[in-house]
Structure 1
């Protein structure tokens, strides 16, 4: 119910004001009063409504507390700031995140708190490390919104990450000042460990090993990351629940059974609780060392709840411990609800607890021989986690790993039995200069995982693409699955109905026939062969997102080669259910406008319209697209054309007013109104 409240808050078209939050506070107080003083029959309803109100209040409070300036224009000039993070972009370029930002001719009140800059061109002038004060000349702009209506909102994610601008530079980054002693010491320690591990292990295995310890993926090639994703092993790369559980579990088990071997201590201290306390401290250190990203914070909260349960003599792994961890995260960081990492980790955990709970006393240990139990556990765990997280991963990433179960069975045991224990030993032995054997084991383990990923990714049918589902699919699917898991008796199977409904809605999804990019320079049209694009280059992020959302694995040049458009590159045209649409771009845009208006019912210009459009000519130019965002075009049953805008919300992160759909009369009605048009 807290998640429902958060989801409702994010779906609002407007930014709630003081009166809205006052009403929510009043509702929260009333429902608590009903729970405290009302009849017991109303208690479940009162709790549910109070949790919905709490979710909305938490989301609003979080958004206003972290609100920071967002760059309101395109900027080109000097950029100065302190390096707080170094990673790689999707194009495999080194990328810097800076704070303490200074922009030329921009007042501090309008300067973003953080900016992210991708480094293009020659960048060998200095060795980058966190804490440095650097300077460069860069292109910056505000984070972009979705590339189509209902698409992934990078603008919202950047807002909650504190990013007020993103961009790139083609000139070398220069060092203004070295790190201040004591400043960014955690990030500097992470960089030191990363370079040390990469130097000892080497190659992609070294980059993988360093990422497991520090969370920094800069040392892993794009090809290796693509293989891990195709084999459904990318979860091994992100420091999340698996790594935190393996590390704290190894420390807990080692300390507990190690203390039991020492009679003097075993008879005088509670080894179980002492091991839990020390494992919790180790988990906190790992959280700090890994950079404290959201996934690791989520994993630490879950581990802290479980180890805390041991300290208080409660069951360490139960639905209540998972629910408590979820409540803590949702109230503290409501935006995590919208992230695939949150959804997948809790889905996997709930499925594992429910699955093993269902097997308790039925199958294990009687039906499985002792020597086969570890193999059964690995297969069953991978199967449960894969079934639970598969739909979520497919919805967010438009990919299904066909052989993910095989890859996980081959890789996860090595991670648990060799890589993570070796990482712990390396950390303990490093101050003594004895970490080399542990790092050697760690390198062999990561090399094996990467080999499994490369092999499985190369199998035919390893990756299958799926289209993006409607926004309602995952909430309906989650509620149905929770009903099946949490309810008791035969009534639990009623939850299968909403799950079936969710998959039915997904199967019937209809993608937009036409998509127009936010700058008007790229159009995508649905054809029999897939979506055809109007250009092989330009608006690359939009092109990639459109094709992925279609469930299409083609790249932009391949999609541009499909039939669907006619005419030269500067005047591309196509027909859609009787509508003739023409896109013009290039230096002669204004001179081509009259000709395009004679040929088309709708003209799209990849620039600003510098003159008045001819009478009766409907034009979409950069100015209109700046207001509406990218457009999706749908032909209605009456022949009219509906233009769906992307900017349908006026929120703290969007900085714009919501736009309504535009409906254009059918070409036949336009011809009747304008008989002079051919």
Structure 2
């Protein structure tokens, strides 16, 4: 009988043989380990010391040098550690480099001026201005580097590059509505947006064309072109037809009405609005094929000069301009790098390897903007492309053999339609988990919608968009915009039609972070290797999907001011009190819903009888516990008498002594929104501040110092509360 050590040795030997057999695929794992380092930085509960990044790279580099003359496994392990350390260091360095002042609290009215670097039209006729080089007239308020201001219709006629002055009210970038939700404050930190605001009066232009410096001047010039293009498209094509056309050309989705945007999401066509592989590849392909065909009409040129390389060079320039014009979102960056490398291979008379193109594109984006790795755009874009390339690496030889055996137009059309269906299914499955993790939504009928909308966009809308660019210098863009609008209207109708189907989009439970990581690593194992052992990756992917069956949404949610609340009804729905704003309601409904049909009772009881409210607050009885929701500052003891858990929108100041868990206005001020689970063994509590950790963009309870952390689930006595209030 073989011993365990012999079996382990045989297993390691077999693994080594498999690894050596696929050594050509080893470089594909470099972005994976780089991404691990980036994720490690964001997963830390506190901001690491400055020397961690550089020190980690130095230590890993030294380990790589030492392992170079030893065994191959040690060398590979050291290289992986170096990639992880490099990802961590790059992200930490970028966070430090982009550090900028952030407004700590609502400012009230002040006079604000700055240079307009971006103008976005809003569906209601207003506009959203992004200001750079901001200044204001208040000494007690931090001066952000950039600020984003909303102006109602008729209040602003400013253009990109103008220095403007406006009376406005600023607020800090909004924090997440609940732990695990989208962290706009982190998003704003890496874009140096230190304040959000609302214009209280007209936006006055005090200096036209005030942009200075070549870098800011270039950014302003590109945004000015975007603004001018969007305006001319909206003038020629009113309504959602023009708004969607502007989104396809400039990437500006703000003018699209809310119902149409929701229809695109529910039908699974939202990716069409995001300038990505479809748009960049079509634009570059049309330029490449069009210019080469045009030059081929002149034999004297075609026979003497490398017109193929000329067409490739111009296609690279056009694809780059299109990417910049769209604001360079991550899908467009990825597509541009991949398309550019393919065209560079044409210039160098080389063959391109598709999966390596993806790896190089991922590396460039990770090193340039590592914060994008944790966002849905990066994850869904690369997941779709990697999955399709991995699938077609296997399917393409078979498709070629079948096509050779079945010539003719009908088999070709059938093969194309099959390719659209397979591509949609593969990309849809690969991106579904990330969509569930970030948005808790799944478009059920996306395959049907994409089968109609994608060919219509690729073969009608995009060629007319290119014709629009060619006619634009002559003022004849309407000749192309009108037929382009016909195609856009067709796509809009497909989106609205499919979105109206039963259960077009379903809300799914929260996917834990560990499950998303397990699915990602399993997917990488499945797609990056070529041998039969690749199928081992299916196991962690299946475990990740199964985790949704055990996900349990919270029973009670409270916003950061104690005004917005939601609780679980006996039927399992989420009953909201209607306060806190649209974003809060939408986030809670998606991540902890579904939302109950009934309204929050004011001076009565809920349908299930578990919640009863009056002037002083509400009492909620669930799972053998009594939860008091207090809003009476004059007599809180009466409102919380006999309660096990107390949530108060007013300061309790040592009252409600008998409660096991106390959350009052001071706690909400220090820790942000709360979520609670009523479990058999006690109450589990999470807060936004605890979920974010002590990071530069995290919840700030005080402009100079953070409140001291306390165990979130520990019973809180009046002595502790008195000490906190004095602190």
Settle same-fold status: TM greater than 0.5: yes
Q: Distance in 1 between matches of 2:348 and 2:395?
A: 27
1:397, distance to aligned residue in structure 2 (A): 1.4
Q: CA deviation at 1:52?
A: 0.6
Q: What secondary structure sits across from 1:219 in the alignment?
A: coil
Give the equivalent residue in structure 2 for 1:250: 286
Root-mean-square deviation (CA, aligned residues, Å) is 2.7
1:598 equivalent to 2:641? Answer yes
- Maintained 8 Å contact 2:165/2:205: yes
Query: Structure 1: how far apart are the matches of 2:106 and 2:255?
Result: 31
**Tell me, what secondary structure is at the counterpart of 1:591?**
coil
1:623 matched to 2:641: no
Q: Which residue of 2 aligns with 1:44?
A: 76
Greater displacement, 537-546 / 229-238: 537-546
1:358-377 matches, cutoff 5 A: 358-364=394-400, 366=402, 369-377=411-419
* Pairing 1:416–2:458 present: yes
Judge conservation of contact 1:276–1:310 (CA < 8 Å) in 2. Answer: yes
- 1:641–1:665 contact (8 Å) kept in structure 2: no
* Mapped partners of 1:559, 1:251: distance in 2: 62
Give, in angstroms, the shift of residue 661 of structure 1: 3.8
Residue 246 of structure 2 is aligned to residue 200 of structure 1 = no
Q: Check 1:525–1:615 CA distance in 2 against 1; reply closer, same or farther (3 A cut).
A: closer
1:313 alignment partner, SS class = coil
Query: Is the CA contact (8 Å cut-off) linking 2:240 and 2:256 kept in structure 1?
Result: yes
Q: Distance in 2 between matches of 1:100 and 1:412?
A: 42
Give the one of 565, 568, 571 matched to 1:526.
568
The Cα shift of 1:57 comes to 0.7
Change (3 A) 1:433 1:614: closer
Question: d(CA) in 1 for partners of 2:710 and 2:400?
Answer: 58
What does residue 18 of structure 1 align with? 50
SS in 2 for 1:662: coil
1: CA distance between counterparts of 2:106 and 2:261? 32
Q: Deviations over 1:206-263 (max 9, x none)?
A: 1111222222223322221111111111111122222111111211222233333432
Alpha carbons 2:267, 2:495 under 8 Å: kept: yes
Structure 1 pair 532/384, CA: closer, same or farther in 2 (3 Å)?
A: closer
User: TM-score with structure 2 length normalisation?
Assistant: 0.85
Alignment partner of 1:303 is 2:339: yes
Inter-partner Cα distance in structure 1 for 2:330 and 2:685: 37
Which residue number in structure 2 is paired with residue 222 of structure 1?
258
In the TM superposition, what is the alpha-carbon distance from 1:625 to its structure 2 partner? 1.4
Distance 2:329 2:711 in 1: 38
1:55 Cα offset (Å): 0.7
Q: What is aligned with 2:319?
A: 283
Whole-angstrom distance in 2 between the partners of 1:34 and 1:193: 57
Q: Which residue of 1 aligns with 2:26?
A: none
CA distance in 2, matches of 1:452, 1:345: 23
User: Deviations along 1:148-192, whole A, 9 cap, x unmatched?
Assistant: 223322211111122111233454444444344885332222222
| Cα shift readout 1:343-389 (whole Å, capped 9, x = no counterpart) | 11111111221122111222335266124233223222222222221
Equivalence for 1:433: 475
Cα gap change, 1:217 to 1:148, in 2 (>3 Å): closer
Rate the CA distance shift 1:429–1:52 in 2: closer, same or farther, 3 A. Answer: same
Residue 363 of structure 1 aligns to a residue in which SS?
Answer: helix
Indicate whether 1:582 and 2:620 are aligned: no
In structure 2, the partner of 1:565 is 611
Distance 1:645 1:207, change over 3 A: closer
Alignment check: 8 A CA contact 2:601 2:612 kept: no
Show the counterpart of 2:101.
Answer: 69
Q: Distance in 2 between matches of 1:174 and 1:578?
A: 60
- Residue of structure 2 aligned with 1:241, choices 277, 280, 301: 277
Alignment partners' CA distance in 1, 2:555 and 2:125:
32
Aligned to 1:154: 184
Change (3 A) 1:195 1:150: closer
**Alignment counterpart, residue 105 of structure 1, candidates 123, 138, 152:** 138
Q: How many residues align?
A: 659
> 1:222 & 1:627 partners in 2: Cα distance?
34
1:259-278 equivalences in 2 (<5 Å): 259-278=295-314
1:536 and 2:574 matched: no
Gaps of 5+ in 2: 1-32, 701-705, 718-727
Partner residue of 1:354? 390
Q: Kindly state the Cα deviation for residue 522 of structure 1 after the two structures are TM-superposed.
A: 2.2
Aligned equivalents of 2:47, 2:335: Cα separation in 1: 31
Relative to structure 1, is the Cα distance of residues 4 and 569 closer, same or farther in structure 2, using a 3 angstrom cutoff?
farther
Q: Distance in 2 between matches of 1:468 and 1:297?
A: 29
1:79-158 equivalence runs, <5 A: 79-87=112-120, 94-106=127-139, 110-119=142-151, 123-158=153-188
The CA distance in 1 between the partners of 2:158 and 2:201, in whole Å, is: 15
Instruction: Check 1:571–1:558 CA distance in 2 against 1; reply closer, same or farther (3 A cut).
Output: closer
Distance change (3 Å), C-alpha of 1:422 and 1:556: farther
1:343 aligns with 2:379: yes
Instruction: Indicate if the aligned counterparts of 2:643 and 2:658 stay in contact, CA closer than 8 A.
Output: no
Q: SS in structure 2 opposite 1:494?
A: helix
How many angstroms apart in 1 are the aligned matches of 2:708 and 2:716?
A: 25
Q: Which residue of 1 aligns with 2:18?
A: none
Deviations 1:39-72 (A, max 9, x none): 3232321221111111101110111111111112
Q: Distance in 1 between matches of 2:624 and 2:280?
A: 58
Deviations, residues 650-672 of structure 1 (Å, cap 9, x unaligned): 112125468454234699xxxxx
* Greater mean deviation of Cα atoms: 265-274 or 65-74: 265-274
Identify unmatched segments of 5+ residues in structure 1.
668-678
Q: Per-residue CA shift, 1:401-420, capped at 9, x if unaligned? A: 11111111101111111111
**Cα distance in 2, alignment partners of residues 252 and 448 from structure 1:** 27
**Contact 2:226 2:250 (C-alpha < 8 Å) held by counterparts:** yes
Partner of 2:247: 211
Counterparts of 1:280 and 1:427, CA distance in 2: 16
Give TM-score, length-normalised by structure 1.
0.91
Deviations 1:454-512 (A, max 9, x none): 11111112111112200112211111112112223321211111011111112211112
Matches of 1:521 and 1:107, distance apart in 2: 28
- Deviation readout 1:607-630 (Å, 9 max, x if unpaired): 345x44254456422221122221
Q: Is the 8 A contact 2:554 2:592 kept in 1?
A: no
Number of the residue aligned with 1:663: 713
2:256, 2:449 → 1: CA distance? 19
Q: CA deviation at 1:80?
A: 2.4
Which whole-Å CA distance do the structure 2 matches of 1:166 and 1:217 have between them?
A: 19
Q: Residues of 2 paired with 1:312 and 1:31: CA distance? A: 37
Structure 1 position 510 matched with structure 2 position 552:
yes
Q: Distance in 2 between matches of 1:556 and 1:26?
A: 60
1:672 is aligned to none
Structure 1: how far apart are the matches of 2:626 and 2:263? Answer: 43
SS, match of residue 95 in structure 1: strand
Q: Which moved more, 1:166-175 or 1:493-502?
A: 166-175
CA deviation string 1:314-354 (max 9, x = no partner): 33351111001101111111101011111111111112211
Q: Contact 2:230–2:246 at 8 Å: present in 1 too?
A: yes
User: 1:441, CA displacement in angstroms?
Assistant: 1.9
Post-superposition shift, 1:35? 5.5
